[in-house]
């Protein structure tokens, strides 16, 4: 008598092998039988005829560090077939922390990852000081999916070095030794690895670069070596110059990470995007990574599923939000009242006639959508088709040219209608061929960059697993598709292996019963929507999906017919070494 049996589904097992029609049986949270026909009865049977059965998806780039302390569901990832998330990326998080320094970490996370500080202040229940104590706090909670964590560099530097760490002063040998002890303790407690940010875009609310941005080889190698001495793990890096502004700088970062990898034996995953300023540089980066790996490094490029940047909207950020009339209305009205006010002709005329107020340094993300004309050819209204691979005539500039309107008026009308617009600032350069498809299918890359739980007012890329299935494997019409077997392998077995979670990611006997049963023909993404459901009434963007017949974690159905069942089998994952 099995606990669960999934019958007659098209099994895409995550290994990359061809799909087949068969059964999957589960007992005590483990897969115990897989085949064309599995004999035996079960306490629960799911008829998967005409459906696909996949492993649960493993999202290795999220920022649920705070949300995991108050939210057992962990949406938006939960709605998209994800059964394991990894937090603590980009070198930011909430541990270790000296009592009294909590606000500094909240402001750091708010500045870098655009999570409302009010939500973090109200939602987080601080029950820890050290990183193992933070992990213990998560271990006391139950979730709808599993949670694993990196130890982040920035809070570690603040904890050990204080203001010197905050000012990005060089770490001394004693500093490195002290930080290394914390790294060892975190890895021994089961952390998946260590993360850092070297991005010049990652700043605190006060505009200061995050601690660790300029860490040198000695500091990085010393901390990564401590990780390896404690049993191993993955070193996750947001590299300097990831916007593509300086090719030499970016290629130099690859060389530095390769040196750290060779010196320590560690695997290093670093973010890889196609940038507007250098649309073909990603190919040079992949070539450089291949060369370094050929010389003994272990570099893993981490790529995104779709064109990115931000979603522009009234509940997000946009190029009219610094107009005096708009700012006055935004500061004095509720969201619904603001949307009603934007329908008034006099309000529209006033906003379009005004010039921007000076930038507020504490609203740093406004700078990303400055109302300058060069951006209009990169802004695309997200209509019912949800086209994340649009053509230029679909842009605000293209619509303006076709209709004889000013681009600002086109932008205003889309905002007033309650629509989101895609600001495609990365991974979008059609003249360069098919960069995303090539990056996704490259044998050295791993899927990431969903930022689940972060940038909650400007993206919902946690829906990437569904997008990979629908767009890349099924619907794409303006280019070559990606085989379903490859898409599943990339976001299940590939991601699980990258962070050392070898017990999941494929449908094989002995593996964890983390599974999806999906109506592939009916699978669809919903339009982004803004909801005020964070602590303290903070708003975030969610993007629903339809077509997930069942999502199973540890053998338990946690979502059925696209709805949460209330089951909470998910736990903190401690990597055993």
Residues 340 and 300 in one domain: no
User: In the listed set 394, 424, 454, which residue is the last one of a domain according to the structure?
Assistant: 424
- Residue 239 has what pLDDT? 92
Residues 476 and 456 in one domain: no
Residue 577 resides in a domain: no
Residues 90 and 135 in one domain: yes
Q: How many domains does the chain have?
A: 3
Interatomic CA distance for residues 456 and 86, integer angstroms: 17
Beta bridge partners, 235, equal 194, 268
For the chain, which ranges sit under pLDDT 50?
244, 371
The structure tokens 């190919």 sit at 283
Residues 419 and 286 in one domain: no
User: In the listed set 424, 456, 476, which residue is the last one of a domain according to the structure?
Assistant: 424
Angstrom CA distances, 90 to 175, 340, 499, stand at 21, 39, 15
Interatomic CA distance for residues 135 and 145, integer angstroms: 16
User: In the listed set 395, 424, 453, which residue is the last one of a domain according to the structure?
Assistant: 424
3-state secondary structure 488-524: HHHHCHHHHHHCCCCCCCCCCCCCECCEEEECCCCCE
Task: Transcribe 41-98 into DSSP letters.
Answer: -EEEEEE-TT-EEEEPEEE-SB--TTGGGT-SS-TTGGGGTEEEEEE-GGG--S-S--
Interatomic CA distance for residues 518 and 51, integer angstroms: 6
Residues 269 and 498 sit within 8 Å (Cβ to Cβ): yes
Residues 441 and 474 in one domain: no
Sign for the pseudo-dihedral over CA of 563, 567, 572, 577: negative
Residues 280 and 297 in one domain: yes
- Residue 206 has what pLDDT? 81
- Residue 547 has what pLDDT? 98
Residue 573 resides in a domain: no
Residues 219 and 264 sit within 8 Å (Cβ to Cβ): no
Q: At 501, list the tokens.
A: 């979670």
Residue 439 resides in a domain: yes
Residue 193 resides in a domain: yes
Angstrom CA distances, 457 to 306, 310, 463, stand at 18, 9, 15
The structure tokens 């004999």 sit at 39
Pairing of strands 267-271, 299-303: parallel
Q: Which of 283, 286, 281 is nearest to 270 (CA)?
A: 286
Q: Which of 124, 231, 245, 143 is nearest to 184 (CA)?
A: 231
Residue 159 resides in a domain: yes
Q: Which of 3, 5, 155 is nearest to 65 (CA)?
A: 155
Q: At 155, list the tokens.
A: 């809070």
Question: Coil, helix or strand for 422?
Answer: strand
The CATH number for 541's domain is 2.30.40.10
Residues 357 and 372 in one domain: yes
Residue 103 resides in a domain: yes
- Residue 31 has what pLDDT? 98
Residue 574 resides in a domain: no
- Residue 243 has what pLDDT? 52
**Entry field: residues in the chain:** 577
User: In sequence order, which residues have a C-beta less than 8 Å from that of residue 514 and are 6 or more positions away?
Assistant: 55, 56, 83, 84, 146, 504, 552, 553, 554
Domain that holds residue 384: 311-424
Residues 392 and 419 in one domain: yes
Q: Global pTM?
A: 0.95
Residues 315 and 169 in one domain: no
Task: Transcribe 419-483 into DSSP letters.
Answer: --EEEEEES--GGG--HHHHHHH-TT-EE----BTSSTTT--GGGHHHHIIIIIIII--SS----
Residues 45 and 185 in one domain: no
**Geometric angle at alpha carbon 149, from 144 and 150, rounded to 5°:** 160
- Residue 434 has what pLDDT? 86
- Residue 358 has what pLDDT? 85
Residues 119 and 262 in one domain: yes
The structure tokens 């930038």 sit at 359
Omega within 30 of 0 (cis) for the link into 76? yes
The CATH number for 128's domain is 3.20.20.140
Residues 450 and 389 in one domain: no
> What phi, psi does 447 have (nearest 5°)?
-75, 140
């Amino acid at each position: 008598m099995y606990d669960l049996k999934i019958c007659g589904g098209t099994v895409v097992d995550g290994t990359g092998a061809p799909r087949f029609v068969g059964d999957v049986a589960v007992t005590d949270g483990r897969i115990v039988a897989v085949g064309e026909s599995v004999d035996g009865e079960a306490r629960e049977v799911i008829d998967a005829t005409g459906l696909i059965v996949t492993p649960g998806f493993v999202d290795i780039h999220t920022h649920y560090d705070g949300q995991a302390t108050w939210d057992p569901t962990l949406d938006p990832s939960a709605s998209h077939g994800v059964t394991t998330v990894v937090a603590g990326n980009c070198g930011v998080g909430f541990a270790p922390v000296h009592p009294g320094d909590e606000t500094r970490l909240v402001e750091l996370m708010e500045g870098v990852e655009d999570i409302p500080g009010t939500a973090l202040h109200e939602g987080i229940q601080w029950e820890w000081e050290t990183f193992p104590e933070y992990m213990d706090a998560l271990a006391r909670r139950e979730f709808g999916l599993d949670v694993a964590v990196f130890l982040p560099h920035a809070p570690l530097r603040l904890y050990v070095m204080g203001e010197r760490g905050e000012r990005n002063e060089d770490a001394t040998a004693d500093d490195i030794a002290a930080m290394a002890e914390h790294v060892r303790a975190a890895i021994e407690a089961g952390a998946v690895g260590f993360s850092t940010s070297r991005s010049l875009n990652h700043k605190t609310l006060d505009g200061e670069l995050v601690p660790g941005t300029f860490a040198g080889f000695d500091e990085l190698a010393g901390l990564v070596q401590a990780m390896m001495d404690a049993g191993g793990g993955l070193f996750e890096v947001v590299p300097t110059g990831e916007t593509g502004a300086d090719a030499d700088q970016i290629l130099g970062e690859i060389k530095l990470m390769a040196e750290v990898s060779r010196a320590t034996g560690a695997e290093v995953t670093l973010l890889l995007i196609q940038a507007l300023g250098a649309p073909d540089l990603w190919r040079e980066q992949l070539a450089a990574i291949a060369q370094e790996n050929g010389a003994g490094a272990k570099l893993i490029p981490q790529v995104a599923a779709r064109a990115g940047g931000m979603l522009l909207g009234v509940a997000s950020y946009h190029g009219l939000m610094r107009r005096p009339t708009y700012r006055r209305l935004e500061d004095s009205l509720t969201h619904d009242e603001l949307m009603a006010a934007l329908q008034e002709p006099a309000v529209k005329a006033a906003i379009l006639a005004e010039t921007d107020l000076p930038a507020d340094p504490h609203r740093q993300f406004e700078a990303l959508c400055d109302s300058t004309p060069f951006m209009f050819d990169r802004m695309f209204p997200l209509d019912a088709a949800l086209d994340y691979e649009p053509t230029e005539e679909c842009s605000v500039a293209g619509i303006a040219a076709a209709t004889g309107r000013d681009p600002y008026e086109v932008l205003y009308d889309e905002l007033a209608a309650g629509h989101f617009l895609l600001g495609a600032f990365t991974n979008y350069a059609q003249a360069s061929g098919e960069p995303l498809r090539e990056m996704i299918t490259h044998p050295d890359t791993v899927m990431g960059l969903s930022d689940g739980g972060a940038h909650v007012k400007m993206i919902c890329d946690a829906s990437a697993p569904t997008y990979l299935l629908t767009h890349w494997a099924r619907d794409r019409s303006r280019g070559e598709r990606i085989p379903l077997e490859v898409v599943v392998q990339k976001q299940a077995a590939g991601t699980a292996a990258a962070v050392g979670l070898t017990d999941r990611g494929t449908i094989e006997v002995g593996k964890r019963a983390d599974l999806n049963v999906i109506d592939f023909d009916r699978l669809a993404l919903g339009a982004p929507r803004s909801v005020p459901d964070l602590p303290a009434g903070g708003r975030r963007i969610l993007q629903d999906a339809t077509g997930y017949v069942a999502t199973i974690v540890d053998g338990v159905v946690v979502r059925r017919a696209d709805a949460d069942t209330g089951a909470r089998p998910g736990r903190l994952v401690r990597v055993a070494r």
